[in-house]
A and B are shown apart, each in its own frame.
Chain A
């Protein structure tokens, strides 16, 4: 008879409040439940406010991805106003969002995910001492470098948008900030500085060399080719992860979703991420590596296991409600996150989903060979800046070279319905907005982490992280580092809650 243990794990190093409960039987996770433990209520805050208020309030949903929320809010209002954003407005929006992505990708990698490599659970791993030297919290070499470099690259958003985070410079029709030549040259300098560090320390090679890797065997050959490759952060990640077995955990449902992002300006040297899609990161849905066209009408939110008033059926976000209901249904409802589904099924989003849907050969090959995993998911995140940095540099050059408009004034936004869909650093982000008599009457937000950390849906199907946890081996239930790997591979973000310093020994948690 197998022995069952239930572990209740408040996870740190995720953004916000996430509780994971797992049932362990015979040394493996047999079942899992993910619970968002804080009600936010931004939808209620926005109802009744002025049509443009989402531009100021939603970037405060999160201190990590405010630019993504601003992008989504602006795109929803663009749609309602029926206004076309001029090319330079598109470029500036894109560059700012890219900067937010590339800093988030490496911060997550080296400050949050790889911190687990320095966990004492790995003290017998042959690369443990080197992992501690690189990733020990506050002191590791990669940790220190990452903080310095990301601080500098984020200045680009401050130059283009006045501040970061919580900026509000995007508006329907474009952006309100028009950078001078000197501003753009400064941005180019900062971007190139970041790119140099990324190529030298993270990749261990030039971006063009990395992008030439098209298959798992290419990746093996690249790793063996030079010491610079093996000693780079990605090289070290691959070597450590292989020995830790991270290619075999965290598989999940195997469905992927991307809302698409980075619209191409009408005139640009940047190529689309996929033929027929005018974006650098295409939209789509994939079962395994079979990609289908994306249809936003297939999105619905389930609340049967969430602390919200039940609806008779799953609802599209234009029809959804956010009415908290935390009493009753004990044992069934267990999260403040809703359960978004696409065409009735859960789907993971983020850098790996973007790579699969774009048909990037390396990741298609890796997923076909061994399915999604902790290793492949984190590799996609660490490698994403290799795609974005080149396009950002091109768009900064194009802005500096031309005199085009950044803003196309729209008509007054009095009535209408619009959706703002984009990719945040962690994946698919949508704002669904209805305006009546110049007021917001409906606002629904689905964040990437709602896709990942959702509870079960109306059919009892596990959320993405819940499913990915099943089968995870747990060697030590007092230090279940394997569970941390799976959860952190999704870069979970249950958003900023309360910043405070609590005196040691007190029950209050430090969080924020």
Chain B
């Protein structure tokens, strides 16, 4: 796959057959019904784990959507950047690593310039309103012109519509 460097991608991760792991697929389904801006690709990341590397390479910015545990009360959207994910220190490759493993390994194996990375998610259970919020946040991060450090330091993401 050859992508233009200005490409931005939303990669929704998870297992749609497991209730506690289907936030990514729910957001994917929601976004798939909407018109996406031309520069944004929507990708169903499923359970690909390390194999998402191919979809990360060549992008300017990648927004992952996945389940997150322990960063905020259940149902509250959270945004993390790559450095914040790495603070959680995955111990090695395997299915106990998930996205943290991929992002930790990225500088050593990515065969393009490193893209900007964001991870949007929430702890289950969530309702349709949170799915919509997560989708809006992912799209907003993907499409904004600049993705500055000041955005990355926030743990609890601002609620859409909040002052």
Contact = CB atoms under 8 A, between A and B. Distances in A.
Contact of A500 (B21, B80, B94, B109): B21
Contact of A147 (B94, B98, B105): B105
Given A144-B109, A498-B15, A111 B93 contact: yes
Interface in A465-490: none
A161 interface: no
B87 A504 contact: yes
Contact of B104 (A138, A499, A506): A138
B17 A501 contact: no
A276 B128 CA distance: 59
B90 interface: yes
Contact of B17 (A60, A144, A165, A502): A60
14 contacts: A115-B92, A137-B93, A138-B104, A165-B47, A165-B48, A497-B15, A497-B21, A497-B95, A499-B49, A501-B68, A503-B69, A508-B70, A510-B98, A512-B47
A13 B93 contact: yes
Interface string B37-72: 000000000111111011000000000001111110
A86 to B, nearest CB: 30
Q: In terms of DSSP, what is the predominant structure of the interface of chain A?
A: loop
Contacts, number: 145
Interface string A184-203: 00000000000000000000
A15 B90 CA distance: 15
Contacts of A363: none
Nearest to B14: A499
B88 A502 contact: yes
Contact of A14 (B14, B71, B94, B97): B94
B89 A504 contact: yes
A139 B121 CA distance: 28
A499 B21 CA distance: 7
A400 to B, nearest CB: 22
B118 interface: no
A496 interface: yes
Contact of A496 (B20, B92, B95): B95
A501 B119 CA distance: 10
Contact of A112 (B51, B67, B94, B98): B94
Given A164-B51, A501-B68, A512-B21, 19 more contacts: A13-B93, A60-B17, A60-B46, A63-B49, A63-B95, A115-B92, A137-B91, A138-B92, A144-B105, A151-B51, A496-B95, A500-B21, A500-B67, A501-B100, A503-B69, A503-B88, A508-B70, A512-B47, A512-B97
Nearest to A511: B96
A166 B92 contact: no
A504 B93 contact: no
A455 interface: no
Contact of B15 (A115, A144, A164, A499): A499
A24 interface: no
A418 interface: no
A139 B105 CA distance: 8
A509 interface: yes
Interface string A119-151: 000000000000000000111000110011001
Contacts of B54: 151, 154-155
